[in-house]
């Protein structure tokens, strides 16, 4: 006697198994992307973008470098303080602030305490970056070594062949904490380059979606509504005429 098994057999079971696997992978991928975005939002936020964009455009300093400096120096805390008395988003000391004020003023009545204001801190910090990049041939590692250790220290290292082969840029940074600082800046710049690119692409996609939606509305929705309202108006008008006639006849 043969026994017939109920169900759709192995094929259906395999299909459901594959479908479950695909759904599981999609869920895992979504979770990973969500966690990744949350991590970057916290660790490498994009804040004060209007101030950063304006300072970058005016002073010719890459946005990625400005964001990286803020991220490493203060982690976007506008009231951050250092052990040596530096303050603000880009951690400028009073001595450096006074020196920068002799070269450029972003407001006649500004004081050192005003560095707690994001726009002031970003303007002076970016201006300092501009000076250092010009001073060290646009080489970011050398300029940022000077931002951390001081221009005098970097110039003394440049005079030593074991640290600089051309006397203009550093091949090696002899101070460990400064070397680590520059590594953090370069890593943060790489992250912000990707983040800003993704943000630009997302903005472009949103813009394209809005344009296409507007075209769809103009091409299909508006004519459909016009036609619908015309029909409603026509029917309403006919009924109104009939009612008027009946009222008139009743008189």
Question: Which pLDDT tens digit goes with each residue over 59-100?
Answer: 999 999 999 999 999 999 999 999 999 999 999 999 999 999
Higher pLDDT, 78 or 208: 78
What is the tens place of the pLDDT at every residue in 130-141? 999 999 999 999
Query: Structure tokens of 236?
Result: 């309403």
Domain residue limits at 42 = 26-251
Looking at residue 167, the DSSP 8-state letter turns out to be: S
The answer to the question of residue 189 being in a domain is yes
Q: Please indicate, yes or no, if residue 17 is contained in any of the structural domains.
A: no
| pLDDT the model gives residue 204 | 56
- The Cα–Cα gap between 124 and 99 comes to 11
- Spell out the residues 6+ positions from residue 171 whose beta carbon is closer than 8 angstroms to its own: 163, 164, 165
**Is 69 contained in some domain?**
yes
User: Is residue 1 domain-resident?
Assistant: no
Decide if pLDDT at 8 tops 60: no
Among the listed residues 162, 168, 121, the one whose alpha carbon sits nearest the alpha carbon of residue 146: 168
203 pLDDT exceeds 90? no
- Classify residue 6: in a domain, yes or no: no
Alpha-carbon span 93 to 149, nearest angstrom: 12
- Look at the chain and report how many structural domains it folds into: 1
Return the pLDDT at 54.
Answer: 98
Q: Catalytic amino acids? A: 73
Residue 66, in any domain of the structure: yes
In-domain check, residue 12 = no
In a domain? residue 9: no
184, 148 in Cβ contact below 8 A? no
pTM for the model: 0.71
CATH number, domain at 154?
1.10.530.10
């Amino acid at each position: 006697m043969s026994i017939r098994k109920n169900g759709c057999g192995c094929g259906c079971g395999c299909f459901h198994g594959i479908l479950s696997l695909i759904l599981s992978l999609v869920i895992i991928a979504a979770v990973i992307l969500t966690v990744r975005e949350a991590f970057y939002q916290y660790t490498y936020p994009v804040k004060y973008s209007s101030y950063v964009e304006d300072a970058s455009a005016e002073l010719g300093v890459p946005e990625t470098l400005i964001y990286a400096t803020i991220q490493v120096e203060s982690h976007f805390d506008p009231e951050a303080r250092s052990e040596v008395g530096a303050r603000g988003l880009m951690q400028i000391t009073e001595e450096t602030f006074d020196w920068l004020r002799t070269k450029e003023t972003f407001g006649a009545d500004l004081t050192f305490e005003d560095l707690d204001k994001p726009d002031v801190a970003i303007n002076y910090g970016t201006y300092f970056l501009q000076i250092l990049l010009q001073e060290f041939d646009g080489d970011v590692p050398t300029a940022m070594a000077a931002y951390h250790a001081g221009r005098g220290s970097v110039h003394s290292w440049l005079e030593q062949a074991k640290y600089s082969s051309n006397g203009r840029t550093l091949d090696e940074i002899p101070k460990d904490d400064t070397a680590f600082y520059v590594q953090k800046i370069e890593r943060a710049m790489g992250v912000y380059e990707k983040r800003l690119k993704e943000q630009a692409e997302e903005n472009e996609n949103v813009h394209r979606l809005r344009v296409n939606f507007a075209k769809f509305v103009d091409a299909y929705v508006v004519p459909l509504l016009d036609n619908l309202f015309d029909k409603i108006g026509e029917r309403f008008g006919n009924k109104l005429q009939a009612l008027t006639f009946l009222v008139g006849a009743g008189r």
